Amino acid sequence: MNLSEPISSIMTNRVITLGPEDSMKKVEDIFQREKIHHLPVIDEGLLVGMISKSDYLFFKRGFHDDRQNNKIDLFRLKTRKVKDVMTKGLAKMSPDESIDIAIEVFKENLFHAVLIVDDGILRGIITPLDIIKYLVKNNG
Give 71-130 pLDDT, tens digit per residue: 778 888 898 999 999 999 899 999 999 999 999 999 988 788 999 999 889 999 999 999
78 domain residue, yes or no = yes
Q: Which residue range(s) make up the domain with 92? A: 7-138
Separation between Cα atoms, residue 87 and residue 94, nearest integer Å: 19
Residue 13, domain member (yes or no): yes
- Look at residue 98 and tell me if it is in a domain: yes
2 lies in some domain:
no
Is the residue at 31 inside a domain? yes
Q: Could you give the C-alpha distances from 13 to 55, 94, 136, in angstroms and in order?
A: 22, 13, 20
Q: What is the CATH number of the domain that holds 58?
A: 3.10.580.10
Number of domains composing the chain: 1
Buried b / exposed e along 108-128 (16+ C-beta atoms within 10 A)? eeebebbbbbeeeebbbbbbe
The whole-angstrom separation of Cα 41 and Cα 82 is: 8
The structure's pTM equals 0.85
Chain CA centroid to CA 9, Å: 19
Within-domain flag for 1: no
